[in-house]
């Protein structure tokens, strides 16, 4: 059991990816123990830590970040989370230099110019592997999906995850008055598997 | 990597728990490989399968169901998902008879009368372990939380998870016109740890 | 045209009813110029002002408030909004004393104990007239609807109105990051018309 | 009181504008009895009817539609709604030919190429008057707002209106399982008033 109080103890630099989005990235791509993941850019390292908690103990997260201060922040957070044997953080401009790993199960992209990293992501993924983009704006989603199709990916679902906190009190039950409305859209892509037809949508939000 | 196409192949009996809710139950309780979980009632076994995919290969899911047809359905789905070494499905009226396991990390409850199983859940959990209720109605949440406090639990967050599928097309970007609005509220509880003060809320939906 | 900048100039005492909810109360009940409305309790008078702007110039809003400071606040706001010939504000405990008017088109209720005013509302409404409850908590809705059926009303829709503000900027299009999540549920009731079968739901949120 | 059952009796051709959106267009622009409105394109005439119900009896809605079958449909619906003295429906390609009216209070635009009608809308509005665009896609909003600024408008709020229908039953309170997720974004513009600074946002969705 990964201690959920850890999240309160990690230090926050750039805007962090919250559990609501990390949870859905992991679940929709079937991530599990033993998997190998590339996470880029690391930012504060929250997503790297969450993915690390799922692929541990035998899997790996290869986390890339181009700004040294964020690489160090991510390394510090990974250590606090007790995941230093699972998550490795590299300082690199991946758009220029690409990733080292091959045959990974998942690539997550959260950069201003994520779409430029898609050919690298495609080449690092195993057949059937997933790529997930974390994209705040509508236009970024369009650019991302177009670049993904050009790079050879199959287009999957694009979703927005909304968590409504509820107040449960003696005086009554209701949603909280104010809070988070939007973080980012999540766009899912898949590298085709030889001899397989495209995967149909996963039942993330479809009733019976 | 757990094949996400599996979800399309499992058979659906009673209303299934969707990935959006399963993902958040797993993420908010810090579930990971090696953990031991009780899931009750099993229904069609979707939640058991998702939790099994996370705790595999060394963890276990002890799935309970009181109706024989649903127990058999869950067993068939667990087998199809390749998780028979991880998930064990028992036929039992747990409210009357309780659970066999002790010191589990997580108990998930999805029954019409889940609140009646809370004392059993409390006694099966290790200190610091979580219980998550899947509760369609507001009144059930109130009953559940009151019974939980009476059983010794600390009250955690109650949330609703909403996933908006987006259309990303040449002609434009927009949310889908219609779809799923509600499945259930998720209520989280924690068994107190000796000498620890109550855990503060996890950053599921709080910005920096 | 009612100057929408007025809303920024009115003074706010107790929690005000926002345009999103006032707009839907007006639209779902078919309110228009010339109608007669009872609004209770007045609070800061925002709902009285909005309803007044719709029923003006020939209609009337009879606004009731039991706390003198809020009655005075509502009167000041009504004056600022230029609606003193349309909205009349009375100081009264309506649960004990009832309303003076008969054959009104709409009664709006926003009090902690709104359900206790339902028999008065029923007796003041014309046949076919509407009552709308502004109810923050789930339990209040249940109590309100039960009391309404007991008082002779037909149950209409209960809704929650959510407005997502969008950012439209050079750098991209997206929902705002944080903001309002919940104000109150709106519950609609109708006084039966002699010889008419109950009205079916209005197309507030149903596609073609 | 405008009979809300009317909406069930009108015939639906092209996708209609629902009350949730019509209500907010009316409320955010301060529409009231006596106002003069241009609505274009009319489609099935639902928005023309709603706006007509608000500006009646002394105001006018000038409804424009370029397809003859929809013009006739709107005329039939206007008649059914008893608004033929308030709403006039013209057959015209307004992008080519413009509007006849001047000094109107509100122009509503719901066409595939609404942004092309913005200079006509600007020239028909009185100073301080509003224009509201009904725009299904994100890209349309961007195009619309850019064209509006070029035409001389002040940019107002862009919002999405979501109505969640709630089930209120003996067995419990909860949102409905499935339903409408999205119709269109609503974009508000204002024609500047001489000597006035731009209007700040209206309190549609801001708490105290």
Do B181 and D182 make contact, defined as CB atoms within 8 angstroms? Answer: no
**A174–chain B nearest CA distance, Å:** 8
Interface residue A200 vs chain D (CB under 8 A): no
Taking CA–CA distances from C135, the nearest residue in chain A reads A174
Interface residue A205 vs chain D (CB under 8 A): no
pTM: 0.94
- Best of A9, A11, A28, A33 to disrupt the B interface (most B CBs within 10 Å) is A33
Taking CA–CA distances from B205, the nearest residue in chain C reads C178
Do C155 and D168 make contact, defined as CB atoms within 8 angstroms? Answer: yes
Do D164 and B181 make contact, defined as CB atoms within 8 angstroms? Answer: yes
Do B176 and D181 make contact, defined as CB atoms within 8 angstroms? Answer: yes
Do D23 and C27 make contact, defined as CB atoms within 8 angstroms? Answer: yes
Helix H or strand E segment including C23: helix C19-28
Q: Considering the domain boundaries, does residue D197 fall inside one?
A: no
- Going by C-alpha positions, the residue among B2, B29, B28, B30 that lies closest to residue A32 is B2
Q: How many CB pairs under 8 A join B and D?
A: 57
Interface residue D139 vs chain B (CB under 8 A): yes
* pLDDT score recorded for residue C197: 53
Interface residue D56 vs chain C (CB under 8 A): yes
- Which A residues 152-181 touch D at CB under 8 Å? 173, 177-178
CA quadruple A134, A140, A142, A145: dihedral sign: negative
Interface residue A139 vs chain D (CB under 8 A): yes
Do D207 and A178 make contact, defined as CB atoms within 8 angstroms? Answer: yes
- Going by C-alpha positions, the residue among D126, D37, D123, D122 that lies closest to residue D83 is D37
The mean pLDDT value for A105-111 works out to: 98
Digit-coded pLDDT (tens) for A169-192 = 999 999 999 999 999 999 999 999
Domain count, chain C: 1
User: What does the alpha-carbon distance between residue B207 and residue C193 come to, in Å, rounded to a whole number?
Assistant: 51
In chain D, residues with a C-beta closer than 8 Å to the C-beta of A173 are 173
HSE toward the beta carbon, residue C161, CA cutoff 13 A: 28
* pLDDT score recorded for residue C195: 67
Using alpha carbons only, what angle is made at residue D86 by residues D82 and D92, rounded to the nearest 5 degrees? Answer: 110
Digit-coded pLDDT (tens) for D51-74 = 999 999 999 999 999 999 999 999
Q: Considering the domain boundaries, does residue C199 fall inside one?
A: no
Provide the residue range defining the domain that includes B37. 6-190
* D138: nearest CB among A138, A177, A207: A138
The mean pLDDT value for C135-153 works out to: 98
Percent of chain D with pLDDT over 70: 93
Percent of chain B with pLDDT over 90: 88
Judging by beta carbons within 10 Å of its beta carbon (0-12, 13-18, 19+), is residue B134 exposed, middle or buried? buried
ipTM surpasses cut 0.90: yes
**A139–chain D nearest CA distance, Å:** 8
**C98–chain D nearest CA distance, Å:** 23
Residue A163 pLDDT > 80, yes or no? yes
**Dihedral angle over CA of C168, C171, C172, C177, nearest 10:** -70
Residue C21 pLDDT > 90, yes or no? yes
Q: Considering the domain boundaries, does residue B63 fall inside one?
A: yes
Do D137 and B173 make contact, defined as CB atoms within 8 angstroms? Answer: yes
- Going by C-alpha positions, the residue among A65, A62, A78, A60 that lies closest to residue A14 is A65
**Which pLDDT band, with edges at 50, 70 and 90, does D195 fall under?**
low
**C203–chain A nearest CA distance, Å:** 23
- In this structure, what CATH number is given to the domain that contains residue B162? 3.40.50.150
**C135–chain B nearest CA distance, Å:** 14
Do A137 and C172 make contact, defined as CB atoms within 8 angstroms? Answer: yes
The mean pLDDT value for D27-37 works out to: 98
Task: Go through A132-148 and write b for each residue having 16 or more CB atoms within 10 A of its CB, e for each that does not.
Answer: bbbbbbbbbbbbbbebb
* pLDDT score recorded for residue A196: 59
Interface residue D143 vs chain B (CB under 8 A): no
- Going by C-alpha positions, the residue among A154, A192, A28, A108 that lies closest to residue B2 is A28
Do B208 and A4 make contact, defined as CB atoms within 8 angstroms? Answer: no
* C178: nearest CB among A165, A171, A181: A181
| Chain centroid, CA D73 distance in Å | 18
Q: Considering the domain boundaries, does residue B200 fall inside one?
A: no
In chain C, residues with a C-beta closer than 8 Å to the C-beta of D107 are none
What's the whole-number average pLDDT of chain D? 93
Q: How many CB pairs under 8 A join A and D?
A: 11
Q: Considering the domain boundaries, does residue A172 fall inside one?
A: yes
Where is average pLDDT lowest: A42-56, B113-127, B164-178, C186-200?
Answer: C186-200
Do C207 and B177 make contact, defined as CB atoms within 8 angstroms? Answer: yes
Judging by beta carbons within 10 Å of its beta carbon (0-12, 13-18, 19+), is residue B30 exposed, middle or buried? buried
User: What does the alpha-carbon distance between residue A138 and residue A184 come to, in Å, rounded to a whole number?
Assistant: 9
Residue A57 pLDDT > 70, yes or no? yes
Q: Considering the domain boundaries, does residue D168 fall inside one?
A: yes
Q: Considering the domain boundaries, does residue A207 fall inside one?
A: no
* C181: nearest CB among A139, A171, A179: A179
- Which A residues 1-20 touch B at CB under 8 Å? 1-8, 12, 15-16, 18-20
Residue D4 pLDDT > 90, yes or no? no
**Which pLDDT band, with edges at 50, 70 and 90, does A13 fall under?**
confident
- Best of D18, D141, D160, D175 to disrupt the B interface (most B CBs within 10 Å) is D175
Task: Go through D17-54 and write b for each residue having 16 or more CB atoms within 10 A of its CB, e for each that does not.
Answer: bbbbbbbbbbbbbbbbbbbbbbbbbbbbbbbbbbbbbb
Digit-coded pLDDT (tens) for D104-152 = 999 999 999 999 999 999 999 999 999 999 999 999 999 999 999 999 9
Q: Considering the domain boundaries, does residue D208 fall inside one?
A: no
**D177–chain A nearest CA distance, Å:** 9
Digit-coded pLDDT (tens) for A129-156 = 999 999 999 999 999 999 999 999 999 9
> Beta partners for D169?
D172
Please tell me whether residue B145 adopts helix, strand or coil conformation. Answer: helix
Do D181 and B183 make contact, defined as CB atoms within 8 angstroms? Answer: no
**Which pLDDT band, with edges at 50, 70 and 90, does B140 fall under?**
very high
User: What does the alpha-carbon distance between residue C42 and residue C46 come to, in Å, rounded to a whole number?
Assistant: 8
Contacts of D205 (CB under 8 A, 6+ apart): C18, C20, C163, C164, C165, C179, C180, D159
Q: Report the relative pairing of strands A104-109 and B36-40 from DSSP bridges.
A: unpaired
């Amino acid at each position: 059991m990964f201690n959920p109080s850890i999240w309160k103890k990690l230090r926050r630099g750039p805007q962090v990816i919250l559990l609501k989005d990390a949870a859905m990235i992991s679940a929709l791509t079937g991530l599990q123990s033993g998997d190998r993941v590339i996470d880029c850019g690391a930012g504060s390292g929250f997503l790297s830590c969450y993915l690390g908690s799922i692929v541990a103990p035998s899997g790996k997260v290869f986390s890339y970040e181009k700004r040294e201060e964020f690489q160090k922040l991510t390394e510090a957070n990974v250590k606090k989370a007790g995941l230093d044997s699972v998550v490795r953080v590299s300082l690199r401009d991946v758009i220029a230099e690409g990733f080292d790993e091959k045959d990974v199960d998942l690539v997550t992209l959260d950069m201003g110019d994520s779409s430029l990293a898609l050919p690298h992501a495609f080449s690092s993924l195993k057949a059937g592997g997933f790529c997930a983009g974390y994209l705040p704006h509508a236009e970024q989603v369009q650019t991302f999906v177009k670049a993904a199709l050009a790079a050879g990916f199959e287009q999957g679902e694009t979703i927005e995850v909304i968590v409504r906190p509820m107040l449960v009190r003696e005086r009554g039950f209701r949603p909280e008055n104010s809070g988070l409305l939007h973080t980012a859209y999540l766009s899912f892509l898949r590298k085709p598997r030889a001899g397989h037809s495209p995967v149909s949508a996963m039942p993330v939000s479809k009733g019976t």
